[in-house]
Chain A
C-alpha cells in the first residue's frame, strides 16, 4: 500500500499541557483510518496539524511524500469536515460547495458540473439555493462533506462528523460515508469517540490515550487482541482479571487469579512464569457454572439485568474485581448472591500490558 500521509514524531503542547507526545503513523492511499479516543486525548489536534490549522512543536508531516509541516492550510491538498460543520451562513448550499473551486479560479462550467455531482453524491440535489439555517442537522452534515470532497482532496479529515446526529441517522450516515469513501477512493482520517462507529467503518483504528497511540490495528485486531488494558476496556468493554502466571506450556499460559485458575493463549509477547499479569476477557466469552471444574474462578453473583435481548450478569471475584458476563436470551438458573464459577476458552483470554 502506498503511503499518502505520514506523521513522524509529532509533539504539541498548549501552555504546560502536553497534548501530543511523539505521534507517528503512516496512512495508506484510500485507507479509512479512525482516530479513536475519549475527548481531550488529542485527536482533534492531530487533525488540525494535518490540515495545517495548528503547527506542531516537533516532528514532521508528509503528504504524498512532500514535507508540508510548515505549509499554509490553503497550500495542502487536504480538506476538513468540521465538527460543527462550519458552513458559511451567508452563502447558500451551492455557494458553500463551490467555495473551494471558486477560490482556485476553476472554470465556471466545471464548477457547476462538479457542484451538481457533489450534491448528487450526498443526495441533496435540488437543495442548491437553500441556506444553512434552512437545513436539518443531517443535511448540513452532507453539505459539509460535499463542500470538502468537491475539491478532490488527497486526504479528507473528518472531526466527529456524526457527533450531533441522533442514533438512527448516525447509523444510516455511517453506512453512507463508508460507501462514499469506497466509491471515491479518497483517504479518510476520521475522528470519533464511539468505538462501535470506529469498528463499523474503519480499515484501521488508532486508539488514543493522553496524546499517544495505545494501539494501531484493524478493527478485528483491536477488538479481539487488545495490547493494553486501556484498549481492552475502551474498545471491547472487556473485563480485566489480575493474576500471576504459573507455567507456560504449548503456547498456553496458566494463570492463578483470586479464586481459581484460568488459561490464556500466549501471543507475540511471552510472559515469564511468576509474573504479575492482567488478562482481558470480553463479557460474551464468559461461561458460568454452578459447580467447580479444572479451570474456573469462584465468584459471587451480584445482580442480573436484562435489556435488548441481552442478559447481563454482574459478578464479583474474591479480590473485589467486578466482572460482567453477558449472553443472549434469559437464563433463570442463577440466583442473586449465589456462588458461581466462571471460565472461558484459553484463546478468549488476552494477556495485556505486557
Chain B
C-alpha cells in the first residue's frame, strides 16, 4: 500500500464511526435524556404521563417510606462493599503472588460461576438457606443448633447473596493492581527497617489504592440496584432502590417517579466515580478492562 492511499483511508475512517455515534445517541443518550425529562413530568390519572412540569417526583423521594428505602439500600451496599473488600483484598493480593499456573487456576475458579446465570445461582442459595436446608442440616448435624435458623428471607441471606454475586469484581480489581505491584518496593521498605505490617500499611496499601477504589466502585454501584437478589433471598421483605424502581415501572406504573429515583441513583453513583477519579487520578477503572 502506498503512503497516498493510506492517507486517503485514514480520512475515510471518519465516516465509518458515524453508525457507532448514531447507535450511542439513539440507545444510550436518548433514553437518558428521555428519563431525565420524564422525571420532571406528572403522572396521568389513568395511564401514562401528562406533560405538566413538576418537582413533586423528587420531593416524593424524601417521604419517609421511600427515603428509608434509600437508607436501607445504602446500608446494604456499604456492608456488601466492606465485606467484599475484607474477603477480596487478601484473595486478590495472594492470587497475584502465585505461580503463573496457580494464577490461571485461581482465575478460572473466580470466573467459572459467571458461566451460569446469576439468577439460577441465587436459587442455589435457597437450597442452602431454607429451613431444614443444607446449612441447617449441617449445623444441627454438628450439634451447633437444635432447630432450623430460618435464615432464608432474612437480611443476612440477602447480604450473603450480594457478597457472593459481587465478590469476583473486587477480587479481579485487587488482583489486577497487585499483579502490577513492584514487589521490590516492599522489599526496600523491609530493608529500610519496616516490619511486614508497616511495609504493608505504608507501601502496599498505598500502591494498591487504585485497585481498592475501583473494586469499591465496581461493587458498590451494582449493589444499589441488584433487585433480584433482594427478591429471591429476601422474599420481598426487603425493598431496595432497585426493587422500588422496578415496582414503580411495572406494578404502580408511576414512570415519572421511577425516573426521578433513577436520576438520583445515577447522581449518587456518578459522585462515587468522581471521588474515585479525584483520589486516584486514573481515568479508567482498574481491573475493569
Interfacial chain B residues near A53, Cβ < 8 Å:
187, 190-191
Within 8 A of B (CB), among A49-89: 51-53, 72-74, 78-80, 82, 84, 86-89
Min Cβ gap B280→A in Å is 11
A307 at the interface (CB under 8 A from B): no
In contact, B191 and A79 (Cβ under 8 angstroms)? yes
B184 and A84 within 8 A (CB):
yes
Is there a chain A Cβ closer than 8 Å to B188's Cβ?
Answer: yes
A-B contact pairs, 19 of them (CB 8 A): A53-B190, A53-B191, A73-B190, A73-B191, A74-B195, A79-B191, A80-B188, A82-B187, A84-B184, A86-B182, A86-B188, A87-B188, A88-B189, A90-B206, A99-B202, A100-B192, A103-B202, A104-B193, A147-B192
**Is B139's beta carbon under 8 Å from chain A?**
no
B32 proximal to A (CB < 8 A): no
> What per-residue 1/0 map shows which CB atoms of B205-222 lie under 8 Å from chain A?
011000000000000000
Check A79–B184 contact: CB distance below 8 A. no
Instruction: Indicate whether A45 reaches chain B with its CB closer than 8 angstroms.
Output: no
The smallest beta-carbon distance between B191 and chain A, in angstroms, is: 5
Chain A residue nearest to B198 (CB atoms) is A103
| Cβ of A114 to closest chain B Cβ, rounded Å | 13
- The answer to whether the Cβ of A141 comes within 8 Å of any Cβ in the partner chain is no
Q: Are A90 and B188 in contact (CB under 8 A)?
A: no
* Cα–Cα distance between A90 and B181 once the two chains are bound (Å): 13
Query: Whole-angstrom distance between the alpha carbons of A151 and B191 in the complex?
Result: 11
A86 and B193 contact, CB distance less than 8 A: no
Answer yes or no: B107 CB below 8 A from chain A CBs.
no
Give 1 or 0 for each of B171-189: 1 = CB within 8 Å of chain A CB: 0000000000010110111
Taking CB atoms and an 8 Å cut-off, the chain A residues in 36-53 that contact chain B are: 51-53
Most buried by B among A51, A79, A86: A86
Which of chain A's residues 70-127 have a Cβ closer than 8 Å to chain B?
Answer: 72-74, 78-80, 82, 84, 86-90, 99-100, 103-104
Collect the chain B residues with CB atoms within 8 Å of residue A99's CB: 189, 192, 194, 202
Q: Is B203 an interface residue (CB 8 A)?
A: yes
Q: A286 to B195, alpha carbons, bound, how many Å?
A: 57
**Interface residues contributed by chain B, number (CB under 8 Å):** 17
User: What is the bound-complex CA distance between A51 and B190, given in angstroms?
Assistant: 9
Q: A51–B193 contact, CB under 8 A?
A: no
- How many angstroms from the CA of A73 to the CA of B196 in the assembled complex? 10
Closest B residue, CB atoms, query A79: B191
Inter-chain contacts of A103 with B (CB < 8 A): 189, 192-194, 198, 202
A131 shortest CB reach to chain B, Å: 13
Interface string of A136-171 (1 = CB under 8 A from B): 000000000001100100000000000000000000
Contact assessment for B190 and A82 in the assembled complex, using a CB-CB cutoff below 8 Å: no
User: A88, B203: Cβ atoms under 8 Å?
Assistant: yes
> Most chain-B CB neighbours within 10 Å: which of A73, A89, A100?
A73
Docked-complex contact A88 and B188, CB < 8 angstroms: yes
Taking A88-B185, A90-B206, A90-B207 as contacts, is the C-beta distance between A72 and B191 under 8 angstroms?
Answer: no
Q: What 5 new A-B contacts, CB under 8 Å, besides A73-B191, A88-B188?
A: A74-B192, A82-B188, A86-B182, A103-B202, A147-B192
Report the nearest A residue to B182, measured CB to CB. A86
Residue of B nearest to A75 (CB): B193
A-side contacts of B187, CB under 8 Å = 53, 73, 82, 86
Contact in complex: A151, B193 (CB < 8 Å): yes
Report Cα–Cα, A51/B194, bound state, in Å.
13
Q: Is the pair A51, B192 in contact by a Cβ cutoff of 8 Å?
A: no
Selected from B189, B193, B207, the residue in CB contact (under 8 A) with A89 is B207
* Chain B, residue nearest A48 (CB): B187
Given contact pairs A89-B207, A90-B207, A103-B198, A82 touches B192 in the complex (Cβ within 8 A): no
Residue of chain B at shortest CB distance from A51: B191
Q: Is B192 within 8 A of A79, CB to CB?
A: yes
Residues of B within 8 A of A89 (CB): 185, 207
CA distance A114 to B195 in the complex (A): 22
- Given A74, A86, A151, which contacts B184 in the complex, CB threshold below 8 Å? A86
Cα of A90 to Cα of B195 in the assembled complex, Å: 19
Cα separation A135 to B12 with both chains bound (whole Å):
43
Q: Which residue of B189, B191, B203, B206 has the most chain A CB atoms within 10 A of its CB atom? A: B191
What CA separation (Å) do A88 and B185 show in the bound complex? 6
A336 to chain B, nearest CB (A): 47
Residue of chain A at shortest CB distance from B188:
A86
Complex: how many Å from CA A73 to CA B190? 6
A72 and B195 form a contact (CB under 8 A): yes
Please indicate the chain A residues that have their CB under 8 angstroms from the CB of B191 in the complex.
Answer: 51-53, 73-74, 78-80
Q: How far is the CA of A86 from the CA of B206 in the complex (A)?
A: 15
